[in-house]
Amino acid sequence: QVHLVESGGGSVQSGGSLRLSCAAFGYTGSGYCMGWFRRAPGKEREGVAAIDGVGGTSSADSVKDRFSISQDNAKNTLYLQMHSLKPEDTAMYYCAADWSCPVRGSLSDRDYKYWGQGTQVTVSS
């Protein structure tokens, strides 16, 4: 049974940094697709950044140059490093994974099968 557990969320002031982690249980190996998504109050869930399983990454325009996604295969952990945080980054952040990778590097939540419970990020001005 695949299980994803996010951590690292919290409250920071505008301009601050946070690093989110997502530990994957029940699966080992590499080459699978993983991503970070977020849902702000009253808004649709949106893709933030994704890793395509073959060394490539993608990110939303709204976070380019501020957020970076990385993966430690030995630890089965996905990371999202966030810098220069803005109040509009406030949201629940979710980790997602799919071992079949229907669309590599996808920022669409339809392309991911497994989801974590989320970790809250709050940025104050």
Strands 91-98 and 119-124: antiparallel
In sequence order, the 6+-apart residues with CB closer than 8 A to the CB of 32 are: 53, 97, 98, 99, 101
pLDDT at 31 > cutoff 90: no
Q: What is the pLDDT of residues 13-26, one digit of tens each?
A: 999 999 999 999 98
Q: What is the pLDDT of residues 41-69, one digit of tens each?
A: 999 999 999 999 888 999 999 999 999 99
Beta bridge mates, 74: none
- The share of the chain scoring above pLDDT 70, in percent, equals 97
